[in-house]
A and B are shown apart, each in its own frame.
Chain A
Amino acid sequence: MSRVGVFVCHCGSNIAGTVDVERVAEEAGKLPGVVLATTNKYMCSAPGQQAVKDAIVEHGLDRIVIASCSPRMHEATFRKMLAGTDINPYMLEIANVREQCSWVHKEKEVGTPKAVDLVKMAVAKVNYDAPLTTTTIPVNKRALIIGGGIAGMQAALDIADAGYPVTIVEKEPSLGGKMVMLDKTFPTMDCSACICTPKMTDVGAHPNITIKTLAEVESVGGYVGNFEVTIREKAKYVDYDSCTGCGLCETKCPQKVESEFDQGLAQRRAIYRPFAQAVPAKPSIDAAHCRKLVDGKCGVCEKLCPCGSIKFDDVDKVSTETYGAIIVATGYQLIDWTKIYGEYGGGRYKDVISGLQFERLVNASGPTEGHIQRPSDNTEPKTLVIIKCVGSRDPEKGKSYCSRACCMYSAKHAHQYLDKVKDGRCYVFYMDVRAAGKGYDEFYMNTQHDGARYVRGRVSKIYNQNGKLICQGEDTLLGSQVVVEADMVVVETAMVPADDANRIGSMLGITRDKDLWLSEAHPKLRPVETNSGGIYLAGTCQGPKDIPDSVAQASAAAMKVAILFSKDELESNAMIAHSTTSLCNGCGACVSICPYTAITLEEITVRENSRMVTRPVSKVNPGLCQGCGACTVACRPGAMDLRGFTDEQIMKEVAALCQW
């Protein structure tokens, strides 16, 4: 027979105020197996814990029930306490008589019997507790960062500075992401490149950081501390070891291609660096456009290169490496407004441009060297219309969410335009202005003082008349129609997850929300963790945010990785699923329901009915299993069971509750 000790906590008046704790202890004392039932003012305090430890020795207890707050709060505390006694830390049940009882009831007559029931269930369950042990998993102290934008770079620098090797996988030819395309950053108006490119240089020069550009993560196996990651580096056709980055090849390449970096407003060559400050500062060949690679004729760059670095026979490099932690920083892209907003011309008018195109136009190193010009005829627009929330907060055609950064950067665009075009007029069509941030509202007010005219309402139609873009809309504050004859229109479009984010999310077992943003483990308390151990989120892959928030989240994720790497070994979760082979019929329901890809089917050969048979059975990877229990309820034969929450224990709890 087990020897159970029940300890009921007053929690000051938190519990004792609406639960007669003495009554609860008295009732608990009558339950089978209970040899001691007592109360304490603060069970979690040092004297409270000491009282439990003393009682264990005095009464020879072999398992305990603590009736207190939610196990989320103090289960770990009491486990740690038991680690210093003769009792296994898992011979413990918490009856949640605070959050589930005293806090939700007003009268003792209601709270007390419910607390008694909760304790009855816990006692019934603790009787079937078994000692559990954890194992240790070695930690491979190398971090992988997917995405080399500002978030990825910040996380990489922080982890590398903490002394751990980091690999950045970037799908573009250079680090920098979206931030390096921007001209200035709100609200301080410091030059984006001036604060971003030094970081890129730091990353490039850091001895602990390896950069893989034009690279993709192909597959991920393993678990926290031991991820097996296969990375494909696409052929660059340039030998980076011998290339000095002199740039001669770029000047003579005859093939011109629309520049992705300049958002289609300028052209680049087929052998190119996306921009002057690119890191790595070496060119690569765009195989889809290179004349030598497409037609076999040309090869000018090869002839010119003083170092002999051009390698037309270059092939993709695929490598598999082990990492202890992964940070996903895949970022965002802008929604393709041309497909959904036919009323704005659907991309037919050259002078209706996106916010990112405006950034390139106004940028001193952009295609117009910072002169604001209409893409159609290179004249200076005298009337500019800025339309906010294009694709954001539009559940009918675009996305239901707010993209967060657009209010501020549209104020910035208006400010920059009015600054550069002294006789210009600027209209900003808006739904409302969300300027919550340090110095943000002041910045917005300044833009209004600059002369930007804010019109509350959406533009319903844009059409071309005599070279002017006629914007029809409504001023909902005046309740009247507005028509503006614009020379140029900037649409501030919604952020959506990067193309690859969904594939990477499913590969890493990260849940995605309805708009495919990657989901954090808890929106408030675990904002950079995912539900998969050792995988963290940084920047806009998790949801729209501005640069300060992305950088802050990246540093937070880096800290989580540094904490993980501060230990040589990880303790595995003791409360994990396991499968009973004799019951498992190999149907695979657990495999498809497991959110952590922790379960696989494995063939076993056993003697059954006097013959050897080979059949599949499910197997749980203890490193990957997070103990969520989804498999145990999906398992029809009842082969899957969760340690610490066995079917038997739950049945006993139900039975205890149903006894009269």
Chain B
Amino acid sequence: MTVLQEAIRKRAAELLEAGEVVRVIAWGSGRFANQTSPLFVSAAADAEKIVFNDYCVNTLAKYALNEKVDGKIAVCVRGCDARAINRMIADNQMTRDEVYLLGVPCSGMKDRATDEVLPKCLTCTHRNPVVYDELLGEAVAEPAEEEVSGLRYSGIEAVEAMDREQRLEYFNEVFNSCIRCYACREVCPVCTCRECFVDQLRAGWQGKQNNLNENRFYNLIRVFHIGDRCIECGECARVCPMGLPLMELNRKWIKDLDELFAAGEEGLTDELDNTLGRYKTDDIEEFM
């Protein structure tokens, strides 16, 4: 970790010094030793503020989207960050030459509150960046191929096992707890609409009340909008202040798409796959 931290600092300083990039997005220390926050470095001298430890929980890619600078931005990318970058390129939100990717292998981050590995990192299937301009440090071991499906879908087995009524009760409980702060939307690298449907008041998709119906509507439409493009970074569940199992919803949707249309994992390339927006003659049409 310390070696990686040094490597990131060194390359960040060099890139800024050489003028190859105008900003580096990495992690900086937080108020506590076991806390970090995204750090935006514009001067080579500030590169030493970069930290890389067990608590770098934020997926950084989406921050690159909101940088209003002229020039290249360097972003530290692990598996999740890199897939998010691919996602945003495929969605035409950025181009590959706008970013310089500092690849950082990652074996999982820890939850500050419990000091245990984060749930999103426990189910990670790509610990090394899938795209980068340079890889810092040594690549870490990826999970074996036969483990991947279990990592992705074992979390939803309990929900799938429920009967209709139990499931309704379970999700009613979940949606009742939602406070619709939209943190899940803000952090999501797929949520790149210029104006989210919940904010389109004239169209009136989303009611203003905070009740079960409206919360259910928001959460289900959120999954409909992002499910086929979700890169499974798990940031939505991590940032949810109410601790809602948002990835379970996503993963169920992803599993269905996988089984019906062999959708595969998203964000591994920067090509638009668009599972729900394309038609193939051998698509399953059992409802016809």
Chain A residues engaging chain B, CB cutoff 8 angstroms: 512-514, 516, 582-589, 592-593, 595, 601, 609-611, 615-616, 634, 636-638, 647-648, 651
* Interface-centre pick from B91, B192, B193 (highest chain A CB count, 10 A): B193
Query: Hey, which chain B residues are within 8 Å of A647, CB to CB?
Result: 203
Q: Within 8 Å CB of B204, what residues of A?
A: 648, 651
Q: Does B193 lie within 8 Å of A636, measured CB to CB?
A: yes
**Is there a chain A Cβ closer than 8 Å to B154's Cβ?**
no
Given known contacts A512-B281, A616-B92, A637 and B193 CB-to-CB distance under 8 angstroms: yes
6 A-B pairs, CB-CB below 8 angstroms? A588-B92, A589-B274, A601-B92, A616-B92, A638-B200, A651-B205
A593 contact set on B, CB distance < 8 A: 274, 277-278
Nearest Cβ in chain A — how far from B187, in angstroms? 17
Taken residue by residue from 268 to 288, chain B's Cβ proximity to chain A (1 for < 8 Å, 0 otherwise) reads as: 000010101111011000000
Q: B92–A592 contact, CB under 8 A?
A: no
Closest Cβ neighbor of A651 among chain B residues:
B204
Least CB separation from B221: chain A residue: A636
- In the bound complex, do residue B277 and residue A634 qualify as a contact, i.e. CB atoms below 8 Å apart? yes
Q: What is the chain A residue whose CB lies nearest that of B192? A: A585
A584 and B225 contacting across the interface, CB-CB below 8 Å: no
Interface positions of B from 179 to 203, Cβ below 8 Å from A: 192-197, 200, 202-203
State the 9 A-B residue pairs at the shortest beta-carbon distance, nearest first.
A637-B193, A593-B277, A586-B92, A587-B91, A636-B225, A589-B277, A592-B277, A585-B194, A592-B274
- Once A589-B274, A592-B274, A648-B202 are accepted as A-B contacts, the answer to whether A582 and B68 lie under 8 Å apart by CB is no
* Given known A587-B91, A587-B192, contact A637–B282 (CB-CB < 8 A): no
Contact of B278 among A513, A586, A592, A609 (CB under 8 A): A592
Q: A593-B278, A648-B204 are in contact. List 19 more A-B contacts (CB 8 A).
A: A514-B281, A514-B282, A585-B91, A585-B93, A585-B194, A587-B91, A587-B92, A588-B91, A588-B272, A589-B274, A592-B277, A595-B279, A609-B68, A611-B68, A636-B225, A637-B193, A637-B197, A647-B203, A651-B205
Question: In the complex the two chains form, what is the Cα distance from A616 to B192 in whole Å?
Answer: 13
B194 touches A584 (CB 8 A): yes
Complex: how many Å from CA A587 to CA B279?
Answer: 18
Which residues of chain B are near A637, meaning CB under 8 Å? 193-197
Q: What's the minimum C-beta distance from B9 to chain A, rounded to whole angstroms?
A: 30
Would you give the shortest CB distance from A1 to chain B, in whole angstroms?
19
Residues of B contacting A: mostly: loop
Measured CA separation A587–B229 after assembly (Å)? 11
A513 and B92 contacting across the interface, CB-CB below 8 Å: no
- The residue in chain A whose Cβ has the minimal distance to the Cβ of B196 is A637
B194 touches A582 (CB 8 A): yes
Bound CA–CA A593/B70 (angstroms)? 34
Of chain A, the residue at the smallest CB distance from B204 is A651
Q: A638 near B203 (CB under 8 angstroms)?
A: yes
Give the distance in Å from the alpha carbon of A634 to the alpha carbon of B161 in the complex. 31
Within the assembled complex, what's the spacing in Å between the Cα atoms of A647 and B201? Answer: 12
- Binary interface profile of B, 76-116, with partner A (CB < 8 Å = 1, else 0)? 00000000000000011100000000000000000000000
Q: For the complex formed, measure the closest distance between the CB of B62 and the CB atoms of chain A, giving whole angstroms.
A: 14
Contacts of B277 in A (CB 8 A): 589, 592-593, 634
What residues on B are CB-neighbors of A634 within 8 Å? 276-277
A651 CA to B203 CA in the complex, in Å?
Answer: 8
Chain A residues whose CB sits within 8 angstroms of the CB of B91 once the complex forms: 585, 587-588
Shortest A234–chain B CB gap in Å is 30
Give the complex CA separation of A601 and B278 in angstroms: 17
The smallest C-beta distance from A442 to any residue of chain B, in angstroms, reads 39
Residues of B within 8 A of A616 (CB): 92
Q: Which of A589, A593, A595, A634 has the most CB of B within 10 A?
A: A589
A601, closest chain B residue (CB): B92
Name the one of B70, B194, B203, B281 contacting A513, with C-beta atoms under 8 angstroms: B281
| Residues of B contacting A513 in the complex (Cβ-Cβ under 8 angstroms) | 281
Residues of chain A within 8 A (CB-CB) of B272 are 588, 592
Which residues of B sit under 8 angstroms from A588, Cβ to Cβ?
91-92, 272, 274
Q: CA–CA, A648 to B203, complex, Å?
A: 6
Shortest distance in angstroms between A328's beta carbon and chain B's nearest beta carbon?
A: 18
Q: Which of B92, B274, B278 has the most CB of A within 10 A?
A: B92
Q: Which residues of B contact A609 (CB under 8 A)?
A: 68
In the docked arrangement, what's the CA distance between A611 and B282, Å? 47
* Residues of chain B from 202 to 222 with CB closer than 8 A to chain A in the complex: 202-205
CB neighbours (8 Å) of B92 from chain A are 585-588, 601, 615-616
B197–A636 touching, CB < 8 Å: yes
Assembly CA distance A512 to B283 (angstroms) = 13
- A416 CA to B274 CA, complexed, in Å: 55
Q: How far is the CA of A634 from the CA of B224 in the complex (A)?
A: 11
* Binary contact readout B255-279 vs A (1 if CB under 8 angstroms, 0 otherwise): 0000000000000000010101111
User: Which residues in A have their C-beta under 8 angstroms from that of B200?
Assistant: 638
Residues of B within 8 A of A595 (CB): 279
Residues of B within 8 A of A587 (CB): 91-93, 192
Q: Enumerate chain A residues within 8 angstroms of B225, measured Cβ to Cβ.
A: 636
Docked Cα-Cα span, A513 to B285, in Å, equals 13
For B205, list chain A residues within 8 Å (CB). 638, 651
Chain A residues whose CB sits within 8 angstroms of the CB of B203 once the complex forms: 638, 647-648, 651
B147 to chain A, nearest CB (A): 32
User: How distant is A656 from chain B, measured CB to nearest CB, in Å?
Assistant: 14
- How distant is the Cα of A595 from the Cα of B277 in the complex, in angstroms? 11
Residues of A within 8 A of B70 (CB): 611
**In the complex, what residues of B have CB within 8 A of residue A582's CB?**
194-195
Complex Cα distance, B281 from A514, in Å, reads 5
In Å, the complex CA distance between A651 and B209 comes to: 18
Binary interface encoding of chain B residues 47-81 relative to chain A, with 1 for a CB under 8 A from any of its CBs, else 0 = 00000000000000000000010100000000000
Closest B residue to A581 using CB positions: B194
- Is the beta-carbon distance between A585 and B202 smaller than 8 angstroms? no
Which residue of chain B has its CB nearest to the CB of A616? B92
A584 proximity list for chain B (CB < 8 A):
194
Q: Please measure, in the bound complex, the distance between the C-alpha atom of A587 and the C-alpha atom of B94, giving whole angstroms.
A: 10
Please give the distance in Å from B172's CB to the nearest CB on chain A.
21
Point out the residues of chain B lying under 8 angstroms from A514, CB to CB.
Answer: 281-282
Provide the bound-state CA to CA distance between A595 and B91, in Å. Answer: 20
**Chain B residues near A516 (CB-CB < 8 A):** 281
Q: Give the docked Cα–Cα distance between A593 and B200 (Å).
A: 24
* Cβ contact within 8 Å between A585 and B193: yes
Contact residues in B for A583 (Cβ distance below 8 Å) = 193-195
Identity of the chain B residue whose Cβ is nearest the Cβ of A652 in the assembled complex = B204
Nearest CB in chain A: distance from B20 CB, A: 21
- Which residues on the A side are within 8 Å of B276 (C-beta)? 634
A343 CA to B182 CA, complexed, in Å: 65
Shortest B67–chain A CB gap in Å is 11
Contacts of A592 in B (CB 8 A): 272, 274, 277-278
Inter-chain CA distance A615–B282, complex, in Å, is: 35
User: Closest approach, in angstroms, between the C-beta of B231 and any C-beta of chain A?
Assistant: 15
How distant is the Cα of A316 from the Cα of B70 in the complex, in angstroms? 47
